[in-house]
Structure 1
């Protein structure tokens, strides 16, 4: 899955600007304020999702090493046709206004000739539509202009290395890096909002500061660090250790004052945000308090070499509290409904039952919205209601969507400031 859009929308509404900044120590002056540390969905997550992702096709000319969809060259005859896709958009509108954001992904959505027709239909019925295309020769200025003219709210692109060698090697096709940068600059020039997605895996662990440098230089509404889920071709890629994951999450937090940053399938980033806010307020050294390791130190040093802190934002972007089945829903190319594109358990099909009914009443979705169903360390964790771990990764590793998050190093109850934490998480 090239766009690996999950959890938060590409191109979701930006965080409100606040009278915030950094003090002389470089810490946020907003530390300790719950409303500013995390954002919550505007509507009851049991009633409507924040975002609906539609895998419009699995056809794609790339051969990405991590692909969830195990994309193929040709389109599947079982795909939702134009009429069925319009009906899906109307099902999304039926959740109520404002409707969930609708993201058309793939495969490569530009393989569908009706792409602009569907975007325009969404606009007509009050559904914001974003597009998550592959960085291929199909991503031309002409097509980007057509998408923009049809009313797309934005675009998300994948950047998995700061060099052609790293990115093209991961994507399996020479030239993808250049195509992506050109499309990125073109989309920005057209006025499209752009999100940049980066798959965090062994191939680019040490290159993350370089990727952030590119995001800062070219400009993007959001940078998303996607923590790989072992599905599809991604099963063959090396997993991060829990300690490495903690190091990367803290690095993402650090660069949040350089570029607007979030994570995907790394829900424990919300825990890290709360921990860092409290530690900053208490004046504690986060490296010592959180036991961060050599990877974190290397990433920070590399960021310093690249002068990532030269330009700072007024405020960090608070992460949005969304998880699989809880504010998020994925519809496959054949219409099957899943809590996430990386959680291959189906709760129904939009050809047979309306999406609002599946989302609101299916045992799979209602179960995933119940934090008391979580097992292992996640079930015992004081952060479980604001984190919940990656249900997709838990399923991918253990076969149980309620198992503990495999890439989390946190021992429940070990954070020293439990009283301050309780005030933030309620």
Structure 2
């Protein structure tokens, strides 16, 4: 079946199960939706097991358990065991808050393959301040070591913002101390709550260049030993957009806590008819649903994307970013210098370079209610 000028639809190789939006932390860079919905609407254990089965039938091989904080689901070990029996490579993406030695062993016994633990800083006080939870930093360190001792390959995730970028040396030293296998130093993506805090979080061009230089210098000095460092620059400081999810509906499928199936983490914001796994099979959703086919291929593209010789590399960039910053998801991602809306990116970067930033607003229930009450 050919869709919108592309070859037949690929299988969704990567399935992300957002088990819950509940989270014990209050990070200002949270990219989850402004409205997190009702926890009572979360998929049941039985629903998730069926979704995992249908995902494998479609061809998905990699499964991420995410959130929110997936450890807040009491059935996590049961879901991991079911996924393992189906043949998925499983990855837990966690803050480690709620993790303990007993649960690590239970996850190991269930067949979990891989764990990623997030850190906010190498400084305990700053880390706890960013996370909005006292003593979280020390607990993360203890759990990181316990996870390593249990034999899991370990990834340290650090979201890089203006709040912590000046201490990237210390963050890398912490990764070496903890014997991380991989370290992802990824600058914040400005969706959901993070977009509200963009002026407080977006680093300047100088800060990005300095941080990237320090990462490269450490890599050069390692001679292949120690953690593998990955530094992801913010697309705001680029002139071409990222190939979001390797193309809309191409390799990735995201299941939100309430069962909504999405082509990317943030797609729920778009005015599309998003199918729900409570009502439709994953096969129908992936192959035939309007939302997954809407931005597949190239037929939907406007200029400058339609005639651009880079369209097969970046797929027009991010549809959600186009919506957030231009008001229309069919526009070119404004990160692209060819976009007629690129000035909105230039203006945000100029503010960051001038040091014009406000205080970051923590993601609390009270603050969420305030933002939603004034949002048009």
Please report the TM-score for the alignment, with normalisation by the length of structure 2: 0.72
Deviation, structure 1 residue 379: 5.6
8 Å CA contact 2:244, 2:314 repeated in 1: no
Corresponding residue number in structure 1 for 2:90? 129
Compared with structure 1, are the counterparts of its residues 198 and 403 closer, same or farther at alpha carbon in structure 2 (3 Å cutoff)?
Answer: farther
DSSP 3-state at the match of 2:87: coil
8 Å CA contact 1:45, 1:327 repeated in 2: no
Structure 1 residue 167 and structure 2 residue 127: aligned? yes
Corresponding residue number in structure 2 for 1:340? 264
* Count of aligned pairs between the two proteins: 321
Corresponding residue number in structure 1 for 2:325? 397
Corresponding residue number in structure 2 for 1:293? none
Paired with 1:340 and 1:168, the residues of 2 have a C-alpha distance of: 29
* Aligned 1:31-46 pairs, distance under 5 A: 46=9
Paired with 1:262 and 1:391, the residues of 2 have a C-alpha distance of: 23
Corresponding residue number in structure 1 for 2:297? 370
Compared with structure 1, are the counterparts of its residues 198 and 93 closer, same or farther at alpha carbon in structure 2 (3 Å cutoff)?
Answer: same
Paired with 1:248 and 1:404, the residues of 2 have a C-alpha distance of: 30
Structure 1 residue 327 and structure 2 residue 251: aligned? yes
8 Å CA contact 1:231, 1:342 repeated in 2: yes
Corresponding residue number in structure 2 for 1:65? 28
Paired with 1:121 and 1:56, the residues of 2 have a C-alpha distance of: 14
**Which structure 2 segments of 5+ residues have no match?**
1-6, 223-227, 341-376
Corresponding residue number in structure 2 for 1:13? none
Paired with 2:204 and 2:249, the residues of 1 have a C-alpha distance of: 24
Compared with structure 1, are the counterparts of its residues 364 and 250 closer, same or farther at alpha carbon in structure 2 (3 Å cutoff)?
Answer: farther
Deviations 1:102-133, CA, capped at 9 Å, x for gaps: 11111221221111111111111222222112
Corresponding residue number in structure 2 for 1:120? 81
RMSD over aligned CA atoms reads 3.8
Deviation, structure 1 residue 86: 0.5
Deviation, structure 1 residue 101: 1.0
User: Of 45, 56, 59, which residue of structure 2 is paired with 1:82?
Assistant: 45
Structure 1 residue 203 and structure 2 residue 163: aligned? yes
Please report the TM-score for the alignment, with normalisation by the length of structure 1: 0.64
Deviations 1:186-235, CA, capped at 9 Å, x for gaps: 11111112222222322123233432332233233433333433333213
Paired with 1:400 and 1:195, the residues of 2 have a C-alpha distance of: 36
Deviations 1:29-65, CA, capped at 9 Å, x for gaps: xxxxxxxxxxxxxxx8932123111111122222221
8 Å CA contact 1:252, 1:262 repeated in 2: no
User: Of 1, 6, 14, which residue of structure 2 is paired with 1:51?
Assistant: 14
Paired with 2:239 and 2:334, the residues of 1 have a C-alpha distance of: 16
Paired with 2:337 and 2:204, the residues of 1 have a C-alpha distance of: 5
